[in-house]
Amino acid sequence: MKFKDLAAYLDKLEKTPSRNEITIILSELFKVAEKKEIDKIVYLVLGSLAPNYQGVVLNLAEKMMVRAIAKAYNKDDDSVMKLYKEKGDIGNVAQALSKNIDSKFEVSEIFNELLIIANESGEKSQDKKLDLMAELLNGLDSLSARFIARIPIGRLRLGFSEKTIIDALSLMDRGDKSASVEIESAYNVMSDIGKLAQVVKEKGTRGLSKNIKPEVGIPIAPMLAARLKSTSEMIKKMGTVSVEPKYDGLRIFIHYKKKPEFIRIYTRNMNFIDNSVFPELSSVGKYIKADEVILDTEAVGVDEKREEILDFQKTIQRRRKHNIGQASKDIPLQFQVFDILLKDGKSLINTPYIERREVLDKTVVNGSLLKVDEHTVTDDPEVIKKLHEKYTKVGLEGVIVKKINGFYVSGRTGWNWVKMKEKEESDGRLSDTIDCVIMGFTVGKGKRVGFGVGQFLAGVVDGEEIKSITKVGTGLTDEQFKNLSLRLRKIISKEKPKEYNVHKDLYPDYWVLPKVIVELAADEITKSPKHTAGLALRFPRLIKFRDDKNMGQATTIKELQDLLKINWQRIVKGRT
């Protein structure tokens, strides 16, 4: 496919507000794509060059792209920057300045050129990247230049994610969305959406079960715990369960292969963490009795003098990339291992949990580095309560309750894993925290003007949309306001992101990209005529930043309904 033809599809997608129409356009694009290029097309329509876990980025910020455009079209930097401020979109600037030529490049050629730019490293690499990008833009038609210029700064402005790609692949193969659940399940096991598209293109959705299996080096989407109100309800829904301590640490997946030795570490977001961040794991092979494994763990900081577990905010400091050596001394880690997903080439995700535990116990050697979580099998609600009290008294979050015959199912699916809530509350009371996406912020007045942020707008997930649920402007310390300002000003969007659904009366001063996740508590949740989630948080307050989570792991509207068991007829209409 010619890249200019792909650009025409991208133009249609940008102009289409309907999610169903976007899915149809994508399915048409995938039908005409060749087998050898569909993976590249999928990456490009998502504004990337590879799956997220591979960390392939062009590393050209806005100012660098302004310089590249100026060089491509023989303009001075200041005039291009002025035009950028007027148009508010780097792609529109490139399109306005580009030549009216008929470019003949294939998609694969453009993709490979972008990869070359991304892989430039070493001395004067930024200058080389700039020169290569300018050369690439100079040879493109106007429409192609618009989209290529947007990719480096991560603002393709199409407003969809992998979920829409999955629906489009189903539509391509089956003529409807009937295979979407099947494709999504495969994606959760092998999180390379481009490779997945190739499999569907070549073998159809019915070929997924034979061709998609867990593999060391490719992250698996984590299984997440749902929430229930009472221990009696847990036993009623789950039957016999395994009760385990819930640690407040970093969710870490350890991928290990003995020969040749291979260690990869992934977060719950399926992002790769450089091995140097956790030097402790360089010796992980000593504690594993297998040739290859994938382990699901919680990394927790340890105060060795007091012999106690550190809290999340202290533990997460270990993810910083500076002073790693000192950090590993100040905050030593141990890895609480609670599941095993692959052993010696055999997938365990469709093995009942109690059997996975048996394999885990035989595979991991308990020591100072890896510790297999203790667990208690029971069908007695009172046992769960007592264990919850036991673990909270020693500073842990409580318990995770797991269905003993449940499979490893990515996401919050069914009642396989359940969190124990701190206490039971009446309908309408928010007794648990929720994870929200910051959508934008308002500067504020008085003292807060100095911070740069007075309040922020937060939302929850509904399919591929983010819908507002609250504004938060109280309960933050001065330090949190300053930290928030630093984070948000790096991701300001000149226009409302396409996936945001917000009532006009609630528009903030500045929109931001959906990059920052915060954990919020509130006194109550009420109906709302203004917030597009249909709900509002009363007296919301910031608990902490969730740097270990992304938009895909924010709380959903459905989860709120399941969590609260809201009696819609009895909730008193609240203020927005």
Which residues participate in catalysis according to the annotation?
246
In the block, tokens 């199912």 appear at 409
d(CA 269, CA 242): 25
Q: Dmax of the chain from CA atoms?
A: 75
- How far from chain centre, in Å, is Cα 28? 27
Contact 440, 511 (CB under 8 A): yes
Residue-wise DSSP of 524-557: EEEE-SSSTTSEEEES-EEEEE-TT--GGGSPBH
Q: Which residues of 117-129 are buried (b: 16+ CB within 10 A; e: fewer)?
A: bbebeeeeeeeeb
d(CA 253, CA 337): 9
Cross-strand pairs, 511: 440, 493
Contact 428, 523 (CB under 8 A): no
CB atoms within 10 A of CB 385: 16
Q: Which residues of 215-239 are buried (b: 16+ CB within 10 A; e: fewer)?
A: bbebbbbbbbbbbbbebeebbeebe
State the DSSP code for 411: B
CA atoms within 13 A on the CB side of 428: 12
Distances (CA, A) of 275 to 252, 258, 265, 266, 272: 12, 16, 7, 10, 9
Cross-strand pairs, 372: 337
Q: Name the residue among 259, 414, 408 with its Cα closest to residue 339.
A: 408
Q: To the nearest 10°, report the CA torsion of 405, 410, 411, 417.
A: 20
Beta strands in 131-267 (DSSP E): 226-228, 241-246, 250-257, 262-267
Q: Name the residue among 335, 353, 253 with its Cα closest to residue 293.
A: 253
Contact 430, 564 (CB under 8 A): yes
Beta strands in 278-416 (DSSP E): 292-303, 308-309, 333-343, 346-347, 370-372, 376-378, 398-403
* 565: its two tokens: 């068991």
Q: Name the residue among 342, 359, 243, 248 with its Cα closest to residue 295.
A: 342
In the block, tokens 């264990």 appear at 387
Bridging pattern class, strands 465-472 and 500-501: parallel
Does the bond joining 260 to the residue before it have cis omega, within 30 degrees of 0? yes
